[in-house]
Structure 1
């Protein structure tokens, strides 16, 4: 299984978090994968066999081109054959800002790219599913985004979300309000409309995902990780970890080569 992931060029860092690719190299062995929240929506283009998805307790066949909204809990994916995926992990405010996605309606949803969104992204889709190399796909799609955002003015409120991400979720809403001169209700409305989650819940996801970066830095020392990730105590940390993964942190396979760990890499 090939896993590749790269960051965009710095000029697009406020638009794109990363590009990634998964390729099973012709292996069609059926595998069920758990997917864990990381706080980022994604455009995903399948150019192998489709996947089945189980978010709300039932299995459904995915479309080949999809937009994944914010997720609040883990869910499951299962391939139906050979896996070939190219994806763009977007900054959390971008689906609404650039493509008009109604983020509250796609929370815990994976929707097909169709209609006006497909018309906008048709060139990107064609590049993503083509036979050119991963690096060439990235380069050509970066060029497309350069042209697409040339005359677009993004709302500066996304700085609030950037700050929350930069602080690994360990910043109070009061601090954000004071630093960016934004009222409580305005902050709540912005997150609901542009992110699809309340700010407190989004901060919890970002703080949780930071755990995976800390684990990769050195030998696991849970007391140190609990402190550095900003949890009140170990029981608070364990409860949060179990909520987002369904597993105890001491039993979770951080070293396993799977989709969840790959997508949570910093």
Structure 2
């Protein structure tokens, strides 16, 4: 497996966390679990491999252009064949600049981007398939995204406010009092809830939990702290609450996770 990240241009840096290319030369089939990250993604499949994701108890083939909504629980996936995938990873709030829908409609599923954006998405995919040059592919993506961004100017003030609120939460993973956060930004807790939900697909409490979960993964990866210390650093009252939330996002206890870190989630921790 080969995984590379690419930084966006200066104009898109406030909106795109990074681009990435995932390549696999192996035909070996494998299954994996994707955990909640708090971020949405678009993935262009440019190879011959096939991905499947679970819906209920069944697996279904994912579309050629995948729009990943907010994942709020473990999502099982299967891989078959050789892959070349080009991905866009948005910040938690920033997908709202590029899609007109309320972001929550995409939660916990992989949507065909063609169904969301229509023919422009199909044309973009064709352009990416026509070139094998990585830099050219990124250039094509950026041109498309900048055009979408220009068309979203009326939404800037609202989404920018969401960005500032989320940043204040991320700076302090131990901050559990959302009333305090709302007060700092001069809004009511009710409006804070509505604003974040509409533009991220997550309630403030869900975002806070996923943020703490992601922070705990980074601490676990260092493998130098006991779980009690990790729970405390992530703002949990005790270790049992930490384990309960961790299991809801992974299906595993923290100790079981450490023994079974999967290939996809190893890449996501880079």
1:229 corresponds to which residue? 234
Q: Deviation of residue 71 (structure 1)?
A: 1.3
1:214 corresponds to which residue? 219
2:255 corresponds to which residue? 250
Gaps of 5+ in 2: none
Query: Aligned-residue CA RMSD in angstroms?
Result: 2.5
Matches within 5 A, 1:6-85: 6-25=6-25, 27-48=26-47, 49-85=49-85
Q: Deviation of residue 147 (structure 1)?
A: 4.7
Identify the structure with the greater helix proportion: 2
Segment drifting more, 144-153 vs 256-265: 144-153
Cα gap change, 1:135 to 1:224, in 2 (>3 Å): farther
- Count residues in correspondence: 264
CA contact (8 A) 2:98 2:145 kept: no
In 1, the alpha carbon distance for the partners of 2:183 and 2:204 equals: 15
In 2, the alpha carbon distance for the partners of 1:134 and 1:224 equals: 42
2:161 corresponds to which residue? 157
- Tell me, what secondary structure is at the counterpart of 1:252? helix
In 2, the alpha carbon distance for the partners of 1:219 and 1:55 equals: 37
In 2, the alpha carbon distance for the partners of 1:146 and 1:254 equals: 42
Matches within 5 A, 1:118-197: 118-122=118-122, 124-126=124-126, 128-150=128-150, 152-153=152-153, 154=156, 155=158, 156-158=160-162, 159-168=164-173, 170-197=175-202
TM-score, with length taken from structure 1 = 0.87
Cα gap change, 1:6 to 1:170, in 2 (>3 Å): farther
In 2, the alpha carbon distance for the partners of 1:10 and 1:172 equals: 34
Cα gap change, 1:46 to 1:253, in 2 (>3 Å): farther
Q: Deviation of residue 151 (structure 1)?
A: 6.0
2:243 corresponds to which residue? 238
CA contact (8 A) 2:114 2:122 kept: no
- Tell me, what secondary structure is at the counterpart of 2:42? strand
Gaps of 5+ in 1: none
